[in-house]
Structure 1
Amino acid sequence: MEKKQRILLKIGSNTLTKETNNISRGKIEDIANQIAVLQETYDFILVSSGAIAVAKQFVKLESKQEDVFVKQALASIGQPHLIRIYQEIFREYGLLTSQCLLSYSDFEKHESKTNIVNTINVLVNNNYIPIINENDTVATDEIKFGDNDKLGALTASLLEVDLFIIATNTNGIYTKESLENRNPQTIALVEDFASLEKQVVKTKSSHGSGGMQSKIEAAGLAKRANIETWIINGMEDHFILNALENKIPFTKIK
């Protein structure tokens, strides 16, 4: 039996909400359906934002504290709801899920890194899909920087996955000139990473905290670990299947 390839899929808040103020159960169903179709060939690990977006559907916190602490509290409220939604929907497709909360400090210690790898290997080898998020309650990096793009890249590198997919709300990375002309053109293949960095337009999405800059930085981290990154429009249905079959425009960073 051939060894299955591993894909780490990073899903941002904007993709999960489909640019609304609510988590889209339909989008999570779309992701579950695609994983179910591909499970004989690929193992999946998810890095998912969305805890804060889920919490905002239920509560409005009053606080005189700084904004970041309110967001940490919202993340604490929303994370169990987010995982419950994943579990319910994935179970309908015969998929098992688990929750892993990580902080960037976990990637700085040898023992922590070993534990992450061993735990996730056990989960994946027993057909569980790890759903990873930043431990926002104790660490503010994800809230301030990058909407889990960096966390996705660090995890992909640590686990030595075969492919790192970043689901976003654009058809990959557009050339700077085409954006200025208001006629976005996707950069299909990137082999010269230095030239790519010059194409970045610094904007952020409505719910996400990263924008394209953080995705380029994440791709750079993955590249140093010799991992290919695909930046795909996760707003579209069947985006993973269509990208694997080259049916849609997306950016492939070799």
Structure 2
Amino acid sequence: MKRLVIKVGTAVLTEDNKKLALERIQNLVNLIAKLKNEKKLEVILVSSGAVGAGYTVLKLDKKILANKQTLAAIGQPKLMKTYQNMFEKYEIPCSQLLFTADDFDSRKRLQNARNVMEILLENKVLPIINENDIISTDELIGDNDQLAAFVTYYFKADMLAILTDIDGYYDKNPREYEDAKLQKNISFISCEELEKKPSANSQFATGGIVTKLKAADFLMQNNIPMYLSSGFNLTNAYDFLVEGNHKNGTIFQSKK
């Protein structure tokens, strides 16, 4: 594996909708630094959390679109400053790329983005990607899980790793059923699972397991694997991404 996309969700990046989860963000930064500096991987980070970060500064009703866009405008630089300060310790420069759905539909815009991405990665700069919430009136085909899948595909990454508030994909909801079993390897996702209504635990999150399954399904159709694991405790992510040991978490990979 040469190029890896890591997507981290709002639930991981914020605490109780009141402040940024600095310890968890630092752990994420440590993981990415190890992947870049020791494993010599090209890493692209897709980071949610702009709206949640904005809410830590200004308490606006996120259900109103203009308020949500305002929170994103406040939160995006706050989030980027946090990343920049933490990555500076590892001498890893950061860059910001914001996308809308239209950018992936435009051949010219996409090619421009690809050109910039290659220069950034060639010069060991970490691209940090989010949706451009300020000008977007609709979520990008759902949320940042699918944005991350698009980034993985269009920027020719070898794998997507989603770090979230669950430690993998279960055969049933582990919050409701004590006998739920983690599925370590998935090669097929049923239409029934893909058509379920998305739900998310955080009031600032837009995804849930369904959007992650849709992202995995899209990538499997294009023969690209996806890894799903906890962003609260990165032990399993370290084991898999750094050590190459799949002890926990779920790998979605086509049998083709």
Same fold (TM over 0.5): yes
Partner AA of 1:164 in structure 2: L
- Change in 2 beyond 3 A, CA 1:177/1:108: closer
1:36-55 correspondence to structure 2 within 5 Å: 36-39=33-36, 40-55=39-54
Greater mean alpha carbon deviation, residues 216-225 or residues 187-196: 187-196
Amino acid paired to 1:85: T
CA distance in 1, matches of 2:16, 2:218: 27
Alpha-carbon distance, 1:192 to partner: 2.2
Q: CA deviation at 1:248?
A: 4.1
Instruction: Compute the displacement of 1:180 (Å).
Output: 5.2
Structure 1: gaps (5+ residues)? none
Hey, what does 1:87 align to over in structure 2? Answer: 84
**1:111 equivalent in alignment to 2:108:** yes
TM norm structure 2 = 0.88
TM-score, structure 1 as length reference: 0.88
Instruction: Name the residue aligned to 1:227.
Output: 224
Listed as ranges, the gaps of 5+ residues in structure 2 are: none
CA distance in 1, matches of 2:5, 2:148: 7
Distance 1:104 1:223 in 2: 21
Distance 1:20 1:139, change over 3 A: closer
| Displacement after TM superposition at 1:238 (Å) | 4.1
**C-alpha displacement at 1:188, in angstroms?**
0.6
Is the Cα–Cα contact under 8 Å of residues 61 and 68 in structure 2 kept in the other structure? no
Contact between 2:46 and 2:128, CA under 8 Å: does it hold in 1?
yes
Tell me how far apart the structure 2 counterparts of residues 203 and 110 of structure 1 sit (CA, whole Å): 32
**Count of matched residue positions in the alignment of Structure 1 and Structure 2:** 248
- Map 1:195-214 onto structure 2 (within 5 A): 197=193, 202-206=198-202, 207-214=204-211
1:26 aligned to 2:23?
A: yes
Aligned-residue identity in percent: 31
Q: CA deviation at 1:194?
A: 2.9
Change (3 A) 1:19 1:45: farther
Bigger Cα displacement from structure 2, 192-201 vs 166-175: 192-201
User: Which amino acid is 1:162 matched to?
Assistant: D
Cα distance change of structure 1 residues 239 and 93 upon mapping to structure 2, 3 Å threshold: farther
Superposition RMSD in Å: 2.5
Which has more helix, going by share of residues?
1
SS at match of 1:131: strand
